[in-house]
Structure 1
Amino acid sequence: MRLGAAFLFASPLLAACAAAKEPETAEPVASSEVTGTLFVANKRGNTLSKIDLATGEEVLRLDSCTNPHELATSPDGKHVALACYGGTTVDIFQTDTLEKVRSIDMGANARPHGIVWHESGAIYVTAEGQQAIYKHPDPIPVDPRMMLKFMTGKQGSHMVAVAPDESAAWTTDLGSKTVTRINLKNSETISVTVGEEPEGISLAPDGSALWVSARGSNQAFELDPTTMEVRNTIDTGRFPLRLAIRPQGDVAVTSDLADGGLTVIDLATAKVVRSIAVSSPEEAEQRFQVTILWSDDGKRIYVAETASNTIAEVDYATGKVLRRLPAGDGGDGLAILP
């Protein structure tokens, strides 16, 4: 099965896949080993979910915005920011009640998608329709006069990573088949062609390497984050939609949508060391796994299964799917609080 951009973003086909087999529903299952809260952006339901990881229960689900996608929690844990891909805003909610407290408008055709809530307190978000990223230095309270815009000049600037010292940001540009480095001090950019349809992106915790997955060519790439030179190219599973580096910085995993699995890459050797089956290739279209997220302790990986309205909780050490957590319609973006 060769999946391209038309497959991923064609909602009628996704609906047909989901309708062909009734999506499996998940019942809450408690765990004595996990605490914390998971937030899920439900892009078909236009809602935001809050899941208690100890009980496995969805404790809140409220209306959000049109086609919500990526999420990020604030450094103090009090707020969660939601990129409203079907509109022009980043909406900010309290993590305890999911009450919306701010809406930051970035103007016509913004299509916000990738989002990072930096340790500095600033929010960075891509504006795919404007070929740009924005920095919101102090989103609580928001002051539009402080909003900074950096142009990528590339089509489909979709996901974003930000340096720990905020010296640079990087985007994957689906339409242009590039990865772009933006100097946040002087707005200079460097763009390089990387595979087919690069989308997943993650910066090593120490800032020493930038990792990107290209879903159209079934590859992951290690780049020098300063020069943007490609250091290593690795074959992954099919359609690696996302890439996430473990908080400990030792491995990265790609979310291989067409296989229903994860490819694990050792970052020291730039070699694939194992694969993890979240579902079978035959189940892949009924699950349609997208976003992946590590727990802070690196023991678990959470995998959004958009077609079955579930979030798979995977034990990293064993590769076992521990639970499938219930979420809203079309769960996609994920964020976590320990």
Structure 2
Amino acid sequence: MQRVSQRHGLIAVDKQGNNIFFLNPDSFAIEQEINGLPPRPHELLILPDQGKAWVSVFGDGVHGDNPYPGHKIAVIDLRQRTLSNFIDISPLKAPHTARIGHDGKVYICCEDSSAIAILDPLEECVTGKIAIPSHNAHRLTLLPGGRKLFTDNEEDATITVVDLCQSPGEVVDTILMPGPLAGIDASPQYPYLVASDATRPVIYEIDANSHRVRHTLPLDGHHRPAQVVRFSADGTLLAVIGDNEPLVSLFDALLTPLATIKVGERPMDGCFSPDNSRLLIANEGDGTLSVIELATRKVVATPRVGRGCEILSYFSVD
């Protein structure tokens, strides 16, 4: 396999084991671990300017069944590879996906609170919130430039559109979708976003300006709905990850299908390597990673990592 630059590290969130792992970016061996996080650490946000990673502690359940919702975000120092802080976002609950806005603030959807929390990454505290009209906002995405935000309101079959240029953020539209949703991501290259349907194996292309569904695209080879949709950083590739189905589909920037690849059990999320030579898929169901070589579109390694990772990401090492 092609080696990843020594200027990058790799961090993984072991949701089933309540751990954080620092992995060797080439061998995927665990180099260091942080144990004993509250159950269950879910999502991951890299803050390159601060040299930190934030891990949301969603609660001990899953979307739709989370009896004891969390209210903390674990702060990981990427240089020291240590747990440096917990941010308590109370009274907001069930933090999940987080993204960085145009103002440098972090926006994180809080499912049980029908809100998006606004956090200062320097002070590591909540500075405000944006009320949204759904208790089912599980994931969010921002357009390039970070001035417009979209939440996937899963069972509601809607997407909430928030203008972040209006302080603290103004809900400006609700997009009615053909069915319930399971994932969302915005193209870094073109003015559209992609959402996955939670009831059938299709994805939707949505115009980022008009907020209208342009196309419904079938997921060839899938028999079940997909969940996470994830663009590469440059927007040239899109990964669509099966939900309880061991498949990942690849599309190009224009949403032309490229391949459908078999991976491990219950794949959850993934990340592209900085040079776009690999796609890593975290298989929560069997405690492995599927390492996909993008030149051949084949799985070239299946290392075991923890009890069941949900998400992982490369980060720069200065």
Q: Does 1:78 align with 2:58?
A: no
Aligned mates of 1:312, 1:45 — CA distance in 2: 19
Pick which of 109-118 and 231-240 moved more.
109-118
The offset of 1:120, in angstroms, is: 5.5
Aligned mates of 2:11, 2:218 — CA distance in 1: 31
Equivalent pairs counted in the alignment come to 297
Please, what TM-score do these two structures have when normalized by structure 2? 0.86
Q: Does 1:93 align with 2:76?
A: yes
Aligned mates of 1:318, 1:42 — CA distance in 2: 28
For 2:25, the equivalent position in structure 1 comes to 53
The offset of 1:67, in angstroms, is: 0.5
Question: 2:152 is matched by which residue type in structure 1?
Answer: T
C-alpha root-mean-square deviation of aligned residues, in Å? 2.1
The offset of 1:289, in angstroms, is: 0.7
The offset of 1:54, in angstroms, is: 2.5
For 2:227, the equivalent position in structure 1 comes to 241
Of 108, 118, 135 in structure 1, the residue corresponding to residue 118 of structure 2 is 135
Deviation string 1:209-239 (CA, Å, 9 cap, x unpaired) is 1111113221111111132100111011232
**Change beyond 3 A, Cα 1:276–1:304:** same
For 2:11, the equivalent position in structure 1 comes to 39
Aligned mates of 2:256, 2:27 — CA distance in 1: 37
**Change beyond 3 A, Cα 1:207–1:103:** farther
The offset of 1:97, in angstroms, is: 3.3
Q: Does 1:160 align with 2:133?
A: no
Of 194, 200, 206 in structure 1, the residue corresponding to residue 183 of structure 2 is 200
- Structure 1: 5+ residue stretches without partners: 1-30, 280-286
Alignment map for 1:254-269 (pairs within 5 Å): 254-268=240-254
Q: Is the 8 A contact 2:143 2:187 kept in 1?
A: no
Sequence identity, in percent?
20
**Change beyond 3 A, Cα 1:143–1:67:** closer
Partner SS for 1:85: strand
For 1:27, the equivalent position in structure 2 comes to none
**Change beyond 3 A, Cα 1:254–1:195:** farther
**Change beyond 3 A, Cα 1:327–1:121:** farther
Question: 1:47 is matched by which residue type in structure 2?
Answer: N
Q: Is the 8 A contact 2:50 2:122 kept in 1?
A: no
**Change beyond 3 A, Cα 1:103–1:229:** same
Question: 1:304 is matched by which residue type in structure 2?
Answer: A
The offset of 1:179, in angstroms, is: 1.5
Q: Does 1:327 align with 2:305?
A: yes
Q: Which structure dedicates a bigger proportion of its chain to helix?
A: 1
**Change beyond 3 A, Cα 1:310–1:119:** farther
Partner SS for 1:201: strand
Q: Is the 8 A contact 1:75 1:118 kept in 2?
A: no
Q: Is the 8 A contact 2:54 2:74 kept in 1?
A: yes
The offset of 1:76, in angstroms, is: 3.1
Whose relative contact order is higher, 1 or 2, with alpha carbons under 8 Å and at least 6 apart?
1
- Structure 2: 5+ residue stretches without partners: 60-69
Of 255, 280, 301 in structure 2, the residue corresponding to residue 302 of structure 1 is 280
Q: Is the 8 A contact 2:45 2:99 kept in 1?
A: yes
